A and B are shown apart, each in its own frame.
Chain A
């Protein structure tokens, strides 16, 4: 059973890492990163079966694919603090010659990254392929994927969603970060998608909601249910209801901090709200 206090402390440090990375280079995407801090932390610290070290093929372990690559600050923080590369390397986020590119990439050989993402809508297809490779390899592990809700406006997702159910890709748990925000405003305002649940269900997926997508207990419990629902002939979709910017009060619930860095005062405030737990890099 999960040690909730330990996970809380982990997430608090991840939040610090996110705002510090973005502040240092005055660029990056803190809002969506903070909204998914609990989810990605729980994945790596609690849910996924992971091998020591990193190899690209990832045979014999669970794999995670981030499709909305702009939330790289949270991904880098969780990967570093899960042992994939030195935590100090978070200092190089978005700098010249860094392995921590603005959007995640395999190109610079950063351990933990298996596909480049950033141009939206491509990650689910890749996850589906990786899930099918696992089946061919008789590798009984799970593929996890995360997409943004605004990202569902990209048509390629729906090709992948249709395919995954038709081909019974049931070793796949795809999570949608339902924060209701995108660059130009709320998702309802920019392009109202109607019921995401109804759409996935119509495409033949099992759909589960995690209503409290920033609550560690709710995530652990919801994802365990998702895991239990996998392996039954259908892909599983988790609708993760999150608050963009969660954990930093002035960033919460708005699209304003989608791709904007805090200034010095704002950083101080964000850090004060999230005291150091595991040690800053």
Chain B
């Protein structure tokens, strides 16, 4: 089993901010838009260094999506910034018509996704955004797992032509992927090799999957752990190859099981190689106030939950 070292916990949104800082210096077409959440999105350095390329929209997310679409006409590469809830559900038709259907090169960058937003509660904790966005034709959907990966993904988006939804979070979490990684959209990253189960995880659940792997190892269970940072397009080849070896899969995400990564994986399995699957995801529910750790425990989205689901799925083989 490989060992992954936490090189210093950080929030993924700061990875986004660092990526924007770099893009500000390297790509003059990159512009940043924000709906009154500069501090939350960590883009102050980009703004300080490129004031003419920053657009403060105010609390008007629908307008922000339209302006972003318009900025692409003229060759700009807009990165919108607000919470995941206000980046998706609130502005779904604006994204659908003015960005996705219009094929505009807009990067919708969403912080504070999922339960780990914490105490603000369910009004702000969207658990449906992956589903909403993956259903839009032509939309790429990415959910990064740590600071380094979020920074690398942000930088990679500028070279990808087409609309993208980039999802990250608020809490400080372990930073364990390489600082110098090349982020390849649509390419799964294999983190552990095992024989008994495949764990396919995205976002904050990737570290939890690695933690679960340690516990499972002590029980004599070895796992393939796959970091799926890109939910659409899904790297089905990597997943199918792994389940052909292990014979079962647990998917893990900070999202409703409806519409999430798990459903995308289930579709691929059903088409080519059906095997037992268990879901670590919320069970068609809203969140609530609490600390991130409390919420992830209550709603079954941590290493313990993954271990339980692994044991269950192996028993179904």
Contacts and interface: CB of A to CB of B under 8 A. Distances in A.
B58 A163 contact: yes
A124 B70 CA distance: 9
A125 B53 CA distance: 17
A224 interface: no
A128 B67 contact: yes
A11 B246 CA distance: 70
B103 A133 contact: no
A130 B70 contact: yes
Interface in B91-126: 93-94, 96-98, 101-104
- Which range contains the number of B residues in contact with the other chain? 20 to 34
B65 interface: yes
Contacts of A125: 62-63, 65-67, 69-70, 94, 98
Contact of A116 (B62, B63, B101): B101
Chain B facing A: main interface SS: helix
A118 B113 CA distance: 30
Contacts of B69: 115, 125-126, 129
- Most A CB contacts (10 A, CB to CB) among B53, B55, B60, B73 go to B73
Nearest to A56: B73
Given A116-B102, A125-B63, A163-B63, A133 B97 contact: no
Interface in A256-279: none
Contacts of B96: 119
B74 interface: yes
A147 to B, nearest CB: 12
Nearest to B137: A107
A114 to B, nearest CB: 5
B199 to A, nearest CB: 38
Given A116-B98, A136-B31, A136-B53, A57 B60 contact: no
A152 interface: no
Interface residues of A, number: 40
A58 B65 CA distance: 20
A209 B315 CA distance: 75
B285 to A, nearest CB: 30
A139 to B, nearest CB: 7
Interface in A109-160: 114-119, 121-134, 136-137, 139, 155-156, 159-160
Contacts, number: 118
B191 interface: no
Contacts of A118: 97
A125 B93 CA distance: 13
Interface in B248-307: none
A106 B102 CA distance: 5
A210 interface: no
A127 to B, nearest CB: 6
B238 to A, nearest CB: 31
Nearest to A69: B97
A130 B62 CA distance: 16
A129 B31 CA distance: 11
Contacts of A122: 62, 66, 93-94, 97-98
A163 B31 CA distance: 17
A134 B70 CA distance: 10
B220 to A, nearest CB: 54
A125 B62 CA distance: 8
B71 A133 contact: yes
Contact of A59 (B57, B70, B74): B74
Contacts of A106: 101-103
A87 to B, nearest CB: 25
A159 B74 contact: no
A63 B55 CA distance: 21
Interface of A: 56-59, 63, 65, 105-107, 114-119, 121-134, 136-137, 139, 155-156, 159-160, 162-163, 166-167
Given A107-B102, A163-B60, 10 more contacts: A115-B70, A116-B102, A124-B66, A129-B70, A129-B73, A130-B74, A133-B73, A136-B76, A159-B60, A166-B58
